[in-house]
Each structure stands twice: as structure tokens, then as C-alpha cells.
């Protein structure tokens, strides 16, 4: 019983950590990468479609992302979708490619991005605390139904606390790494 509760809590915490790392990867550091455009949706003949499903995305040089659509009629739609995304970039069509020049980050923008990353990390910590609360409530329910003893309940809560401590340390480690990456010039 306790092992099931602990296993369930650990799986949820692992998913929260993975979601945080995915969110961190979307926050731009000094170098462009193709993952920056993953969340951009293009109007593909009336259907919102992820950009990576309508075009090849590449890095022609160190400061530019290149987008080559499979259907040449999609050039304007792709350019418009990138311009309207919250990336704050100005794409331009050059021949059969949409070039997305990535401006260098200013000190002010780096600090802004650091605040965003800290907020995402705090949201992950809160989610993990909620998982702990739910697991502890489940243990109390088992105790009330007399399926486990008080000692088992206490032991289970201690194990869940150790688990959350480990995962929050992992969140903090990821946060420090991302902050260092953002602040590196």
C-alpha cells in the first residue's frame, strides 16, 4: 500500500521535473537552437499545425535559424506565424527559406529571462509540494480505514519527504544551471 503511494508520488514528481526541463529548454540562452520554434503553430490550410510538421528547421549559421517549408506556398504563413509568436524576432523570406535572425541578448533581457526561469522553478516546487500533500492525505485515508498502522503512516510520510527533498534539490540544480547559461556572455 505505502509502496504504491510512494511510487505514484515519485512518478508524478519525475513528470513535473521533466516538464520543468522542457520549459527551460524553451527559454532562449545566447545561442539559437531549433527547439525555439517547437511551440510555433502555422495556419496550414485552416488547421493550426506545429511548424516542424510543415517545414525543415536548421541552423545555417551561429545567429540564424532557417525554415524551409515543404510546400512553397506556406512561406508567408510560416513567416507570419513566427512574427506573431512571443519570441520577439523578425523573420524574413529569402528565396525559398524563411530566415530568423536571433539578436544577441542584452543584460536587461538576460535578467528578465532569469526571473521567468525562477518563476517556472517555483511553480515546479509548488507542484511537488501538492503531490506530497496528496500522497500524505492518501496515507491518512489508509490509516483511517485501518489498512496501515500509525507507524507505517509515519514511516511513509518520512519516505515521501525524503523523495520530495531529492526532487526539489534536482529542481534547484536545474535552475542554477539554466541561470548560469543565461548569464554567460
Q: Do 97 and 111 belong to one domain?
A: no
pTM of the model: 0.68
Q: Do 13 and 40 belong to one domain?
A: no
The predicted pLDDT at position 45 comes to 85
The predicted pLDDT at position 185 comes to 63
Q: Which tens digit of pLDDT belongs to each residue from 93-102?
A: 888 999 988 8
CA-wise closest residue to 83 among 68, 105, 99: 99
Stretch 42-53: mean pLDDT, rounded? 88
The predicted pLDDT at position 36 comes to 77
The CATH number that applies at residue 52 is: 3.30.1360.40
Q: Which tens digit of pLDDT belongs to each residue from 129-172?
A: 999 999 999 999 988 988 888 888 899 999 999 999 999 999 99
pLDDT of 23 strictly over 80: yes
Q: Do 137 and 178 belong to one domain?
A: yes
Q: Do 141 and 162 belong to one domain?
A: yes
Q: Do 10 and 68 belong to one domain?
A: no
Alpha-carbon gap, residue 122 to 134, rounded angstroms: 18
Neighbours of 24 (CB within 10 A): 20
The CATH number that applies at residue 157 is: 1.10.132.20
Q: How remote is the C-alpha of 98 from its chain's centroid? A: 26
Q: Do 21 and 73 belong to one domain?
A: no
Alpha-carbon gap, residue 65 to 36, rounded angstroms: 9
Q: Do 118 and 176 belong to one domain?
A: yes
The predicted pLDDT at position 16 comes to 92
Domains contained in the chain, number: 2
Q: Do 21 and 111 belong to one domain?
A: yes
Q: Which tens digit of pLDDT belongs to each residue from 113-137?
A: 888 889 989 999 999 999 999 999 9
Of the three residues 56, 73, 101, the one that is the final residue of a domain is: 101
Q: Do 59 and 39 belong to one domain?
A: yes
Q: Do 72 and 140 belong to one domain?
A: no
Containing structural domain, residue 40: 34-101
pLDDT range class, residue 105, cuts 50, 70, 90: confident
Q: Do 39 and 21 belong to one domain?
A: no
The predicted pLDDT at position 15 comes to 94
pLDDT of 184 strictly over 80: no
Amino acid at each position: 500500500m505505502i509502496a504504491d503511494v510512494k511510487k505514484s508520488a515519485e512518478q508524478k514528481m519525475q513528470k513535473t521535473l521533466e516538464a520543468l526541463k522542457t520549459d527551460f529548454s524553451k527559454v532562449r540562452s545566447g545561442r539559437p537552437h531549433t527547439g525555439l520554434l517547437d511551440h510555433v503553430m502555422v495556419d496550414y490550410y485552416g488547421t493550426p499545425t506545429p511548424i516542424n510538421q510543415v517545414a525543415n528547421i536548421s541552423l545555417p549559421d551561429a545567429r540564424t535559424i532557417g525554415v524551409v517549408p515543404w510546400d512553397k506556398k506556406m512561406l508567408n504563413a510560416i513567416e507570419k506565424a513566427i512574427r506573431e509568436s512571443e519570441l520577439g524576432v523578425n523573420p524574413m523570406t529569402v528565396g525559398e527559406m524563411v530566415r530568423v535572425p536571433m539578436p544577441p541578448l542584452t543584460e536587461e533581457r538576460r535578467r528578465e529571462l532569469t526571473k521567468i526561469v525562477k518563476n517556472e522553478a517555483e511553480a515546479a516546487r509548488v507542484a511537488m509540494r501538492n503531490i506530497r500533500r496528496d500522497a500524505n492525505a492518501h496515507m491518512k485515508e489508509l490509516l483511517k480505514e485501518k489498512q496501515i498502522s500509525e507507524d507505517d503512516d509515519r514511516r511513509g510520510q518520512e519516505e515521501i519527504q525524503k523523495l520530495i527533498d531529492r526532487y526539489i534539490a534536482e529542481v534547484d540544480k536545474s535552475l542554477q544551471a539554466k541561470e548560469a547559461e543565461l548569464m554567460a556572455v
